[in-house]
Amino acid sequence: MQPINLHDYEVLAQRRLARPVWDYYQGGSDDEISLHENRAAFARLRLRPRVLVDVNNCNTATSVLTTEIAMPILIAPTAAHGMAHAAGECATIRGADAAGSGMIVSSNATFSMEDIARASQGLRWYQLYINTLPEAQQQIKRAEAAGYQAIVLTVDTPLLSRRERDRRNNMGNFQRTYYPRAFAGNASYTVEGNLNDSERAIYAGHTLTWDIIAWLRTHTSLPIILKGILTAEDATLAVQYRVAGIIVSNHGGRQLDGTIAPIEALPEIAAAVRGQCEIYLDGGIRRGTDVLKALALGAQAVMIGRPILWGLAVQGSEGVKHVLEILQQELHSAMVLVGSPTVKDITRSLIQ
């Protein structure tokens, strides 16, 4: 079967991946309510198309943090691409470059951030999990040296959720047996260090606080983006702490189950931010019309995770490129049909 949409890639990828790997990529937490709601929330939104608009030169190009990209679609940070393809994240980022998109590279990548950076000439941001502050400081330095253009701090993981598919599959043992380096691209770099009193205060019991942003600023001049914001209250705080961007996200339904879907949270967050930082969204994007809806409700761009892994599993970097191109083509068609010739023309008035 020649895939013509993202759902086709999903079917093909499931045939190629071992059950524990498929469930790791696909699964959510607990009852997977948030996982399924992320898609259902898009289906409930209705478009209000305008007609007799000149859309002969419709263009999907835009920018994020002043970097020009061919489409308002980026690759979300996802772990362990090496379980989907031998070239892992290096193949993924080559596909992103070829499509004119960009990639947020996971801390839990199969390949090192340096190897991934060497495979790319385009937009690349580094997603940071903070396990210890000394280790985080070293990872930031490495990211800067490797040419990453932003730090994306994931803020919704004070602990990992219960992911029952992985427990049933005994995923930990499976991964250690068959893919021992799947998450270990950066694991060989360990740092010992003592915390001062102020650092101890912002990292008590492995729980980050808003003070972590000031700490990050003492260690990097790169833009700081927060991933995992779902409320206007936290969006307002993010603006007060002068972050460059917010990713509206519920971790793909993999953390707290039963949360509001990101597309439902987006309007209140956009209203709270009032253009003071860029807003991105991930979770549930499967069609170009989904991208259009997110842009109409206030997102600068969207990020996709699982579909990229499907493309990678099916056809390596070419599959990644094709997944992005399918979404771009679908977005282009949707823009023509709603009467929005440019990304800037996509406004809240298009949503019922």
Radius of gyration over alpha carbons of the chain, in Å? Answer: 19
Q: How far apart (Å, rounded) are the C-alpha atoms in residues 73 and 238?
A: 23
- 36, two tokens: 């399924």
Predicted pLDDT of residue 159: 87
Write out the catalytic residue numbers. Answer: 251
The percentage of the chain sitting over the pLDDT mark of 90, rounded to a whole number, equals: 91
Statement: 6-189+199-350 belongs to CATH 3.20.20.70: yes
Of 289, 231, 326, 256, nearest to 42 by C-alpha is: 289
d(CA 52, CA 66): 32
Residue pair 283/38 in contact (Cβ under 8 Å)? The answer is: yes
pLDDT exceeds cutoff 90 at 197: no
| pLDDT value, residue 204 | 46
- pLDDT tens for each residue of 289-323: 999 999 999 999 999 999 999 999 999 999 999 99
DSSP codes joined into one string, 280-306? EEESS--SHHHHHHHHHTT-SEEEE-H
Report yes or no: 128 and 139 within 8 Å, Cβ to Cβ.
yes
pTM (predicted TM-score): 0.94
CA 216 to chain CA centroid, nearest Å: 20
pLDDT tens by residue, 238-252 = 999 999 999 999 999
Residue 8 pLDDT > 80, yes or no? yes
pLDDT over threshold 90, residue 282:
yes
Q: Does residue 60 surpass a pLDDT of 50?
A: yes
Do the Cβ atoms of 75 and 98 come closer than 8 Å?
no
Cβ atoms of 328 and 291 within 8 Å: the answer is no
Phi, psi (rounded to 5 degrees) for 106: -75, 145
